[in-house]
A and B are shown apart, each in its own frame.
Chain A
Amino acid sequence: MLRFEKALLRRGTFALNVDLELAKGDRLALIGPSGGGKSSVLDAVAGFLPLGEGRLEINGQDMNDAQPATRPVTFLFQEHNLFPHLTVAQNVGLGIRPNLRLSAEDHQRVTKALAEVDLSDHPHKLPRELSGGQRQRVALARALLRDKPLLLLDEPFAALGPALRREMLDLVARICEETTATLIMVTHQPEDAARIAGLTSVVADGSVSQPLLTEELFKNPPPTLKAYL
Chain B
Amino acid sequence: MARRTQPVILRFAGLTALLLVLGFTLGTAGALFLAAEPGRGLARSDWSALRFTLVQASLSAVISVVVAVPLARALVRQSFPGRSLVLTLLGAPFLLPVIVAVLGLLAVWGRSGLVSTGLLAIGAERIDIYGLWGVVLAHVFFNLPLVTRILVQGWMAIPAEQFKLAEQLQFSPADMFRHLEMQMLRQSLPGAFTLVFLLCMTSFAVALALGGGPRATTLELAIYQALRFDFDLAHAAMLAGVQFGLCCLVAAVAMFLSLGVDFGAGLGGPVRHKSLRSSQTLMDRTLIVAAVAFLGLPLLMVVVRGITGLIADLPDGMGPATLRSLGVALISALVSLGFALVLAAWLDRLRGPRRWGAEVIGYLGIAASPFVMGTGLFILLNPVISPFSVSLPVTAAVNAVISLPFSLRVLLPAFAQLRQSHGRLGDSLGMSGWSRFRLISWPVLRRPAGFATGLAAALSMGDLGVIALFAPTRGETLPLYIYSLMGAYRMEAAAGAALVLLVSSLALFWLFDRGGRLNAAV
- A interface residue numbers (CB < 8 A to B): 46-48, 67-69, 71, 73-75, 77-81, 83-86, 94-95, 98-99, 128
Query: Are A48 and B272 within 8 A (Cβ)?
Result: yes
The distance from the CB of A111 to the nearest CB of chain B, in whole angstroms, is 20
Chain B interface, number of residues (Cβ within 8 angstroms):
23
Q: Judge whether B279 is part of the interface by a CB distance below 8 angstroms.
A: no
Shortest Cβ distance from B158 into A: residue:
A80
A85 / chain B contacts, CB cutoff of 8 Å: 179, 183
Known interface pairs A48-B272, A80-B266; A68-B167 also in contact (CB < 8 Å): yes
Q: Judge whether B274 is part of the interface by a CB distance below 8 angstroms.
A: yes
A contact patch SS = loop
Q: List 19 A-B contacts (CB under 8 A).
A: A46-B168, A48-B164, A69-B169, A71-B168, A74-B168, A75-B164, A75-B165, A77-B161, A77-B165, A79-B266, A80-B266, A83-B162, A83-B165, A83-B180, A84-B262, A86-B179, A95-B169, A98-B169, A99-B174
Task: Name A73's contact: one of B168, B174, B179, B183 (CB within 8 Å).
Answer: B168
Query: Are A80 and B264 within 8 A (Cβ)?
Result: yes
B274 / chain A contacts, CB cutoff of 8 Å: 67
Q: Judge whether B125 is part of the interface by a CB distance below 8 angstroms.
A: no
The distance from the CB of A153 to the nearest CB of chain B, in whole angstroms, is 13
Shortest Cβ distance from B263 into A: residue:
A84
The distance from the CB of A62 to the nearest CB of chain B, in whole angstroms, is 19
Q: Judge whether B122 is part of the interface by a CB distance below 8 angstroms.
A: no
Task: Name A75's contact: one of B168, B170, B272 (CB within 8 Å).
Answer: B168
Q: Judge whether B267 is part of the interface by a CB distance below 8 angstroms.
A: yes
Q: Judge whether B473 is part of the interface by a CB distance below 8 angstroms.
A: no
Known interface pairs A79-B267, A80-B266, A83-B179; A69-B170 also in contact (CB < 8 Å): yes
Query: Are A80 and B159 within 8 A (Cβ)?
Result: yes
- B interface residue numbers (CB < 8 A to A): 159, 161-162, 164-165, 167-172, 174-175, 179-180, 183, 262-264, 266-267, 272, 274
Query: Are A68 and B264 within 8 A (Cβ)?
Result: no
Task: Name B175's contact: one of A68, A80, A99, A128 (CB within 8 Å).
Answer: A99
Query: Are A94 and B169 within 8 A (Cβ)?
Result: yes
Assembly CA distance A98 to B176 (angstroms) = 9
A47 / chain B contacts, CB cutoff of 8 Å: 167
The 5 A-B residue pairs with the shortest CB-CB distance in the complex, in nearest-first order? A80-B161, A80-B159, A68-B167, A69-B170, A77-B161
A71 / chain B contacts, CB cutoff of 8 Å: 168
The distance from the CB of A58 to the nearest CB of chain B, in whole angstroms, is 14
Query: Are B267 and A98 within 8 A (Cβ)?
Result: no
The distance from the CB of B179 to the nearest CB of chain A, in whole angstroms, is 5
Query: Are B175 and A77 within 8 A (Cβ)?
Result: no
The distance from the CB of A12 to the nearest CB of chain B, in whole angstroms, is 10
The distance from the CB of B394 to the nearest CB of chain A, in whole angstroms, is 49
Shortest Cβ distance from B183 into A: residue:
A85
Assembly CA distance A86 to B171 (angstroms) = 15
Assembly CA distance A79 to B172 (angstroms) = 23
Assembly CA distance A84 to B264 (angstroms) = 10
Task: Name B262's contact: one of A73, A77, A95, A128 (CB within 8 Å).
Answer: A128
Known interface pairs A84-B262, A85-B183; A79-B169 also in contact (CB < 8 Å): no
Assembly CA distance A46 to B165 (angstroms) = 10
Shortest Cβ distance from A100 into B: residue:
B175
Known interface pairs A86-B179, A99-B172; A79-B161 also in contact (CB < 8 Å): yes
Known interface pairs A77-B161, A81-B161, A83-B179; A68-B168 also in contact (CB < 8 Å): yes
Known interface pairs A79-B264, A86-B179, A128-B262; A98-B170 also in contact (CB < 8 Å): yes
Central interface residue in B164, B168, B171, B267, by most chain A CB within 10 Å: B168
B164 / chain A contacts, CB cutoff of 8 Å: 46, 48, 68, 75, 77
A74 / chain B contacts, CB cutoff of 8 Å: 168
Task: Name A80's contact: one of B162, B167, B183, B272 (CB within 8 Å).
Answer: B162
B183 / chain A contacts, CB cutoff of 8 Å: 83-85
A99 / chain B contacts, CB cutoff of 8 Å: 172, 174-175
B263 / chain A contacts, CB cutoff of 8 Å: 84
- Give 10 A-B pairs besides A75-B164, A94-B169 with Cβ atoms closer than 8 angstroms: A69-B167, A69-B170, A77-B164, A79-B159, A79-B267, A80-B165, A84-B183, A85-B183, A98-B169, A98-B172
